[in-house]
Amino acid sequence: MTEKVVKRFDEALAVDEVSLSIEQGEIFALLGSSGCGKSTLLRMLAGFEKPSSGRILLGGLDVAQMPPYERPINMMFQSYALFPHLDIWENVAFGLKREGCPKDELKRRVGEMLDLVQLGDYARRKPHQLSGGQQQRVALARSLAKRPKLLLLDEPLGALDKKLREQTQFELVNIIEKVGVTCVMVTHDQEEAMIMARRIAVMSKGRVLQVGAPQDIYEFPVNRFVADFIGNVNLFDGRLSVDEIDHCAVQTEIGEIRVGHGVSGSLQMPVAVAVRPEKIEISKTRPSGVDCNLFSGRVKEIAYFGAYNSFLVQASNGQKIKITEPNTTRHDLSDITWEDEVYFWWSNRAGVVLRD
């Protein structure tokens, strides 16, 4: 299942030459903030928008110009879009009826779907008689009823509150994997994407910036935008001072930073080093045995997040560095307080060099 060069004009380029290849059976996420083009892309897959140019290949067949009712693709809408005048059973059966599915098989398959989402008892209720979570399950059942080759999810967890979201995330993934359908989901919530998808495409301004497994994107962002978009990150600008195959060093305003991987570039090239806050350690006493990436600064802000502490430390050049430490015991790191002079450091395998 692939999807190639897809371009679209509205007044501007909503989707700018996107080429993606999605594998059978995987859950693939399109991640980005609003306006980045992910929803447009999804709608093109569904058939509600026609690409200005490019192809969409589904199992070798180009469906780009096909109307939505002819495609073997089904979508679960963000608002669920359940038919308010039909009961749950009819909602799920709708697609199968359009296909001309014979009565007995229809009954069997609808029953199957309802059992899959555990709503068999509610078959005769109308949508407004169900809670939000139940409605979502109906929407899912309805979109899977026709056994589509591709399932599209539009901000699947957007309408749910936090607690419900966590629970539903895993349930959704379970059902989708159980059915074994290929799935493309769209979301602006990175947690959602990281938890549910096997691979993620980060999008901005109509372009795909990076595609990869959640780990790869998090640990090895390809540029500043991606690094900053996913989670939190500290960025140190500087120039490449050492460049070897397996390690390099960057000269920055706070000092030299050593990074444990090579960079294909030239010396004195302007680069940035990205270091995630959880990879930085902090202490009031100078640590021993640390041979690189050790700096000092003054604590400007502290925040307690229950599971971890967050510090904002001002370094020698004025830059504010974000550091988080997990709360491993019931004592918080209370010996560090505002205006303390602290040391912070990280291993040479913690940072990533970014070129733009």
Partner 1 sequence: MKSNWLNKHLGKVWLALVFLFLYAPLAFMILFSFNSTRQHAVFTGFSWRWYEALLADTRIVEGFFVSLQVAFVTGLLAAVLGTFCAFVLVRYQRFWGRTVFSGMATAPMVMPEVIIGLSLLLLMVGAQNVFGGPERGLITIIIGHTLFGMAFAMVVVQSRLQEVDRSIEEAAMDLGARPHQVFFLVTLPNIAPAILAAFLLSFTLSFDDVVITLFLSGPGVSTLPQVIFNYAVRGINPTIYAAATLLILTVTLFVVSYALWVARSTRKRQREMAQALRGGT
Question: Which of the residues 130 through 169 are near partner 1 (CB under 8 A)?
Answer: 130-134, 142-143, 146, 164, 167
Burial, 174: exposed, middle or buried (Cβ in 10 Å; 0-12, 13-18, 19+)? exposed
Q: How far is the CB of 77 from partner 1 (least distance, A)?
A: 5
Question: Residue 21's CB: how many other CB atoms inside 10 A?
Answer: 12
Q: How far apart are CA 145 and CA 331, in angstroms?
A: 52
Question: Residue 317's CB: how many other CB atoms inside 10 A?
Answer: 12
Q: How far apart are CA 74 and CA 146, in angstroms?
A: 8
Question: Which of the residues 22 through 61 are near partner 1 (CB under 8 A)?
Answer: 46-48
Q: How far apart are CA 26 and CA 28, in angstroms?
A: 6
- The piece of 50-58, 91-99, 279-287, 330-338 that touches partner 1 (CB under 8 A) is 91-99
Which residue, 67 or 287, has its beta carbon nearer to partner 1?
67
Q: How far is the CB of 59 from partner 1 (least distance, A)?
A: 18
Q: Which of 54, 95, 238, 277 binds partner 1 (CB under 8 A)?
A: 95
- The piece of 3-11, 18-26, 32-40, 65-73 that touches partner 1 (CB under 8 A) is 65-73
Nearest Cα to Cα of residue 236 among 133, 326, 85, 350:
350
77 binds partner 1 (CB under 8 A): yes
Question: Residue 205's CB: how many other CB atoms inside 10 A?
Answer: 16
Which tokens sit at 47? Answer: 């058939």
- Mask of contacts with partner 1, 167-206, x by CB under 8 A? x---------------------------------------
Nearest Cα to Cα of residue 265 among 246, 247, 240, 237:
240
Q: How far is the CB of 85 from partner 1 (least distance, A)?
A: 4
Which tokens sit at 41? Answer: 């892309």
Which tokens sit at 283? Answer: 């202490």
Which residue, 64 or 350, has its beta carbon nearer to partner 1?
64
Which residue, 43 or 276, has its beta carbon nearer to partner 1?
43
* SS3 at position 93: helix
Which tokens sit at 343? Answer: 């040391």
Q: How far apart are CA 207 and CA 218, in angstroms?
A: 19
- The piece of 81-89, 197-205, 308-316, 348-356 that touches partner 1 (CB under 8 A) is 81-89
Nearest Cα to Cα of residue 27 among 50, 6, 4, 1:
1
Q: How many residues bind partner 1 (CB under 8 A)?
A: 34
Which residue, 10 or 335, has its beta carbon nearer to partner 1?
10
Q: How far is the CB of 92 from partner 1 (least distance, A)?
A: 10
Q: How far is the CB of 235 from partner 1 (least distance, A)?
A: 40
Which residue, 20 or 73, has its beta carbon nearer to partner 1?
73
In the complex, the residues that contact partner 1 under the rule CB under 8 A are 46-48, 67-70, 73-75, 77, 79, 81-85, 94-95, 98-99, 126, 128-134, 142-143, 146, 164, 167
